């Protein structure tokens, strides 16, 4: 069955420090992978996505993610965090389920706190 694991529920970093948010997935075929950010009371904003090709994906707001098939991972990185990056981050995997339907499965999220 499809699943997504975000091991870190909370992460705190200082402004200007680098960031890595972890995401591991379980899926039987090549997955479609996404990272979303959500500010309190707001909807989801797509940061980046991976469908195929180059395994290092560039997104908005200076974020990037690397797809590693051997590790079943799609970790999100940013070299220098800004205070405005404080939010909830969700990793999602999309694909066809065993029943033939297309769905997204979301991870539990990682809440990022940025210290001034």
Partner 1 sequence: GAVVSQHPSWVICKSGTSVKIECRSLDFQATTMFWYRQFPKQSLMLMATSNEGSKATYEQGVEKDKFLINHASLTLSTLTVTSAHPEDSSFYICSARETYREGVSGRFYEQYFGPGTRLTVT
Non-local (6+) Cβ contacts of 24 within 8 A are 4, 5, 7, 71, 72, 73, 74
Q: How far is the CB of 5 from partner 1 (least distance, A)?
A: 11
Contact between 41 and partner 1 per CB under 8 A: yes
- Number of residues in contact with partner 1 under rule CB under 8 A: 23
Contact between 12 and partner 1 per CB under 8 A: no
Contact between 94 and partner 1 per CB under 8 A: yes
**Interaction mask 47-66, partner 1, x per CB under 8 A:** --x-xx--------------
Options 22, 44, 62, 66; binder of partner 1; rule CB under 8 A: 44
Contact between 103 and partner 1 per CB under 8 A: yes
SS3 31: coil
Region of 79 on the Ramachandran plot (φ > 0 left; ψ -120 to 50 alpha; else beta):
alpha
Cα separation, 114 vs 14, whole angstroms: 5
Contact between 39 and partner 1 per CB under 8 A: no
Measured between its terminal Cα atoms, the distance across the chain in Å is 41
């Amino acid at each position: 069955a499809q699943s997504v694991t975000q091991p870190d529920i909370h992460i705190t970093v200082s402004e200007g420090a680098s960031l890595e948010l972890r995401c591991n997935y379980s899926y039987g075929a090549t997955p479609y992978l996404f990272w979303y950010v959500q500010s309190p009371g707001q909807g989801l904003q797509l940061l980046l996505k991976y469908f195929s090709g180059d395994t290092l994906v560039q997104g908005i707001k200076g974020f990037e993610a690397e797809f590693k098939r051997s590790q079943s991972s799609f970790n999100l990185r940013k070299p220098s965090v800004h205070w405005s990056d404080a939010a909830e981050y969700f990793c999602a995997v999309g694909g066809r389920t065993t029943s033939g339907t297309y769905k997204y499965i979301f991870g539990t999220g990682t809440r990022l706190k940025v210290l001034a």
